[in-house]
């Protein structure tokens, strides 16, 4: 896909995820919007996958460690063809298979995530297993920045460099906000790059809402032989809906009818702008 087409696709994912949250009257809006470009790039350009055969042995693996951003993930999976897009309208409805966190009963989802700080360990295990079998499959993991306060993340970070897992590419959705406020006020993460480097990772820092930078970084990974790769993707929480951007309360906020309709109009304007480029 071209960068232009990927941007267009990301807009479609944003529209759908916002509709899911609006209809369900629940969701994690801010983080789903901040990570949309990353997930779109992975599923529509970077990862080797076969939506008609989700368990294809040659697939790259993806773990959404920040499981609460499930709305963008489900939207991308449906639009990529893993399941029928009509199912998305049941999100968080009574007896729906689509719950508020990833569930591996859904085609394309490997693991049930949502308890933070688990995804990197799971990914380390997958990467070790693939290396033992000398398989070329890669493992991608998307973590939140607030999630990095979990100690288990650093247990996994240590193990990844110990085992020289250059088939593991982790991404931090660095939107600088968590539910209670700024990450630096809640529990300071900086100097984030140096911390990961000191744990033996090869780190690249990008604008995580620039499709060009996202695709280039993901395609360049692994960044160094015998080292796990980390992408610090600087993003904006609530990206794409001006009224939500950079506001902590939109972590778990649900738009009212007015805001929802305004956001959808804005998305349509952005689409037109993209088409005119």
Partner 1 sequence: MSDYRACREAYTTTLLTLAQEDPSIIVISSDARGSCSLNTFVETLPDQFVEIGIAEQNEIGVAAGLSVVGKNPFVCAPACFLTARSLEQLKVDVAYSHQNVKVLGVSGGVSYGVLGSSHHTLHDIATLRCIPDLTIILPSDAAQTEAVVRTIAHQKGAFFIRIGREKIPQVYTEELGVKPFTLGKANTLREGDSLTLVSCGELVYHTLEAAKLLSNEGIEARVLDMATLKPFDEEAIIKAAKETGALVTIEEHSINGGLGATVSQIVCANHPVPVKTLAFPDEYLVTGNSLELFAHYGLDAKGIAASVTTFISQVSTL
CB 46 within 8 A of CB 219: yes
Segments of the chain assigned E as strands = 61-64, 139-144, 168-174, 177-178, 181-182, 202-207, 229-234
Query: Which is nearer to partner 1, 158 or 220 (by Cβ)?
Result: 158
What CA–CA distance (Å, rounded) separates 65 from 119?
4
CB of 248 to partner 1, least distance (A): 25
CB of 212 to partner 1, least distance (A): 31
For residue 109, which of 67, 146, 144, 147 has the smallest C-alpha distance?
67
Query: Which is nearer to partner 1, 3 or 128 (by Cβ)?
Result: 128
Peptide bond before 34: cis, by omega within 30 degrees of 0?
Answer: no
Q: Give the residues lining the site for partner 1 (CB under 8 A).
A: 61, 104, 110-115, 117-118, 120-130, 132-133, 135, 137, 151-152, 155-156, 158-159, 162
**Tokens read off for 246:** 């950079």
Query: Which is nearer to partner 1, 11 or 111 (by Cβ)?
Result: 111
What CA–CA distance (Å, rounded) separates 185 from 168?
30
Query: Which is nearer to partner 1, 3 or 99 (by Cβ)?
Result: 99
CB of 227 to partner 1, least distance (A): 18
CB of 261 to partner 1, least distance (A): 37
Query: Which is nearer to partner 1, 25 or 55 (by Cβ)?
Result: 55
Query: Which is nearer to partner 1, 152 or 262 (by Cβ)?
Result: 152
What CA–CA distance (Å, rounded) separates 200 from 142?
18
Dihedral angle sign, alpha carbons of residues 5, 79, 23, 117? negative
Q: What angle do CA 105, 106, 109 make, to 5 degrees?
A: 95
CB of 250 to partner 1, least distance (A): 26
CB of 274 to partner 1, least distance (A): 37
């Amino acid at each position: 896909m071209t960068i232009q087409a990927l941007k267009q696709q990301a807009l479609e994912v944003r529209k759908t995820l916002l509709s899911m949250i609006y209809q369900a009257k629940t969701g994690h809006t801010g983080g789903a919007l901040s990570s949309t470009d990353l997930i779109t790039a992975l599923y529509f350009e970077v990862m080797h996958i076969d939506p008609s055969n989700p368990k294809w042995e040659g697939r790259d693996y993806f773990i959404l460690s920040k499981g609460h951003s499930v709305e963008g993930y489900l939207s991308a999976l449906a639009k990529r063809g893993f399941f029928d897009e009509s199912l998305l309208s049941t999100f968080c409805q009574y007896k729906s298979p689509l719950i508020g966190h990833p569930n591996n009963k859904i085609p394309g989802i490997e693991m049930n995530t949502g308890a933070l700080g688990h995804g990197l360990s799971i990914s380390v295990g997958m990467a070790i297993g693939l290396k033992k079998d000398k398989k070329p499959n890669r493992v991608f993991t998307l973590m939140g920045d607030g999630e990095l306060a979990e100690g288990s993340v650093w247990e996994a970070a240590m193990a990844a460099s110990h085992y020289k897992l250059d088939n593991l590419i982790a991404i931090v959705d660095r939107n600088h906000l968590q539910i209670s406020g700024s990450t630096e006020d809640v529990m300071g993460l900086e100097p984030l790059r140096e911390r990961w480097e000191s744990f033996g990772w090869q780190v690249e820092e990008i604008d995580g809402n620039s499709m060009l930078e996202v695709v280039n970084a993901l395609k360049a990974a692994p960044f160094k032989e015998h080292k796990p790769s980390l992408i610090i993707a600087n993003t904006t929480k609530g990206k794409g809906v001006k009224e939500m951007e950079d506001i902590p309360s939109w972590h778990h906020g649900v738009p009212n009818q007015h805001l929802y309709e305004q956001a959808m109009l804005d998305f349509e304007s952005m689409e037109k702008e993209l088409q005119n480029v």
